[in-house]
Amino acid sequence: MITDEDKERVRQATDFVQLVAETVELRQRGQEFWGCCPFHGEKSPSFKVNPATGLWHCFGCGDGGDVFSYVQRRENLEFPDAIRYLADRAGIELSEERSGRRGPRKSRLMEALEEAEAYYHTMLMRGRGAGPDEARRYFAGRGFGSDVCRRWGLGFAPGHGQLVAHLRSKGFTPAEMVAADLAQERSGRPVDRFFDRVMFPIHDERGRTIAFGGRVIGAKREGVAKYVNTRDTAAFNKGKHLFAYDRAKETMAATGEAIVCEGYTDVIAMHEAGLTNAVAALGTAFRLDHVRLMERQRVSRIVCLFDGDAAGQRAAERAVRYIDKTSAALMCVVLPDGQDPMEFLAEHGPAALRPILDAARPLMDFVFEKRLAGLDLSAPGRRVRALEDMAGVLAPLKHSVLLDEYATRLADTLGMDVGDTKRAIREARVPDAEGERPPARRAPSGTPKGTGAPAPAPSWEDGAVPDDYVPAEAYEAPAAPVTAAAPAPRALSADERMQVAAERELLSAIAQRPDDLRAYGERIAGLSWSDGRHEAMAWAMLSTPAGTSPSEVVAAATAVVPEAPRILSGGRVMGERELTDDEKLDFIVDNAELCSCRRRVRQIRAALSGAPASDDASERLFEEATALQRRVNELVRKVSSVSEE
């Protein structure tokens, strides 16, 4: 579990403006930085970052929040993963990593892996002897000359303890080598994990070395695997990383397309041919985590470019289970004549491959056609066997909303009853995906398993909006449907929308200028708030000591209301140029008090309706309403005079 202390350490260590500037061209206006929103298309900048408060907001799409919500949107991550992403960037080791560690630090493992890559590459490029010579011939035979080998950091592992000796000379311990899976213990001493193999370095999304794939060269040796990959370590998880993702992610984001190949050499050949959105799984089947990783680049189309052999067919069928778990269209291409991408490119060139990729078919169409091709469906018994065969392929979708569509399609193909095909699919065993467990069935929405009580609302930090939360944009324009527990935007009156907007302007001003707003404390104390969370945030921020920085004031508000960063990020008035700072603060407080007075007047009118005319309490309420109305008239004149300037 990530602690609040770690969360704040990560926040303080992150240069928010520099982070945003990686993908957004920013221009400074006063204390704020403005640019075009990275989350929706626009030509005029309406996206701002305030480094003092640590908040961002887009007036075009209405979204906003803090550095963590920004990373969630940009990288398509859950809240905890956004913290881990920024911690990794800043070189911060989280408490959860320290508590779960049983060995060397992750940073030391990655340093050892980087040194190993440099060593393997040197052995390939400069090594002498039969091993390096054969490794160079292997790469040359695949069209990978010295330039390609340099660009991709390709290498050769000689074995015989040479890497261990080299890493020792660089100060790495045997424990660190073993933990990075660069060595393994034999008879109490470390020996090289890879030997007599060409080496493909594997990098994380930031280009750091985290693992290796090694292919044996030379004569086939009994009991020696053709490919050996780094085992899962503190730095590497084969089910969560993709080969060349660091190189492919920009093209994925730019084109909206990702191409998934089966091998390292295929990916390298694709990139060298200009198809730079290609990646490959790492010694495992295509996994859901791989799909999620590509979704972070907001791809709308994932093309599975499988080899034209039986293994490629099986890979396509395993990928079927993810069709209903991604918004991206899963497509499939199998190259002619059983060729792999490297062979096809060598023979036909990239110009011939591009039209084939553009004509990729939906994955399920391919699976249906290949599975049923050549089958004799004329006899009932053969159709039953075909049904059982296809039911096994479709079993991962037995609880999917797509079941009706595919069951109907299968029934039409086999000339069977839809009910029979559904039943066969539901009764079929879900095949394993190399250790990946099928997802557990969820309890009905809103009800925890085994209870009849409504499920607790997910927390804001989990990336879900609380049931009682109404987005800021809902007060200005119709929004997407909200839960039954939240008021529908159209049900909010104009006065309510105005008061919420006024309160949020006030809160945003407190976040930016806490010391200046303390002078208005008495007036703020008398406000009748439309949202209790707003009041809690105001007092949390104003209760901080004088001299507290804006970012610490925002943290105080977030401690009492988790969604505070989103609420505080949307202020507009403090960014106006026509008014002085004092005029802005007066206007914001006047407007909030005006809305509060009107609210209180409405409450009094409701209380007085039907009350006895001689009632003392009613008389006091009437007097209060009269005084409030005078104050309303006064504030209207003040606010109107500012608005007209």
Strand partners, 173: none
Instruction: Say whether pLDDT at 447 is over 50.
Output: no
The pLDDT of residue 298: 83
For the residues 579-590, what does the mean pLDDT come to? 90
Q: Is the pTM of this model over 0.75?
A: no
Cβ atoms within 10 Å, residue 295: 18
The pLDDT of residue 468: 32
- In terms of pLDDT, which residue wins out, 315 or 4? 4
For residue 92, give Cα distances in angstroms to 8, 14, 330, 589: 11, 11, 37, 41
Cβ atoms within 10 Å, residue 596: 25
Tell me the Ramachandran region of residue 471: left when phi exceeds 0, alpha when psi lies from -120 to 50, beta otherwise: beta
The pLDDT of residue 334: 83
What gap in Å lies between CA 195 and CA 386, rounded to an integer? 46
Phi/psi at 328 (nearest 5 deg)?
-75, 145
For the residues 604-612, what does the mean pLDDT come to? 61
Instruction: Say whether pLDDT at 219 is over 50.
Output: yes
The pLDDT of residue 414: 77
The pLDDT of residue 466: 32
The pLDDT of residue 214: 93
| Residue type at position 589 | V
Residue 65: which H helix or E strand, with range?
A: strand 64-66
List of residues 6+ apart from 632 with CB closer than 8 A: 594, 597, 598, 601
Could you tell me the domains of the chain? 4-99 (3.90.580.10), 101-229 (3.90.980.10), 245-368 (3.40.1360.10), 374-427 (no CATH), 490-644 (1.10.860)
Q: What percent of the chain has pLDDT over 70?
A: 83
Q: What percent of the chain has pLDDT over 90?
A: 43
Q: Are strands 227-229 and 257-261 parallel, antiparallel or unpaired?
A: unpaired
Mean pLDDT of the chain: 82
Q: What 3-state DSSP class applies to 224?
A: coil
The pLDDT of residue 259: 96
* 503, two tokens: 């309160």
What gap in Å lies between CA 147 and CA 117, rounded to an integer? 16
Instruction: Say whether pLDDT at 462 is over 70.
Output: no
320 exposure class (CB count in 10 Å sphere: 0-12, 13-18, 19+) = buried
What gap in Å lies between CA 33 and CA 20, rounded to an integer? 10
Q: What DSSP string runs through 176-225?
A: HHHHTTSEEEETTEEEES--SEEEEEEE-TTS-EEEEEEEE-SS--TT--
Instruction: Say whether pLDDT at 207 is over 70.
Output: yes
Instruction: Say whether pLDDT at 626 is over 50.
Output: yes
Strand order in the sheet with 361-362: 278-280, 257-261, 301-306, 329-334, 361-362
Q: What 3-state DSSP class applies to 276?
A: coil
What gap in Å lies between CA 469 and CA 486, rounded to an integer? 6
Phi/psi at 509 (nearest 5 deg)?
-65, -40
Hey, what's the torsion of the CAs at 505, 510, 513, 515, to 10 degrees? 150
The pLDDT of residue 172: 95
Instruction: Say whether pLDDT at 452 is over 60.
Output: no
Cβ atoms within 10 Å, residue 468: 13
The pLDDT of residue 288: 84
Q: Are strands 155-157 and 197-203 parallel, antiparallel or unpaired?
A: antiparallel
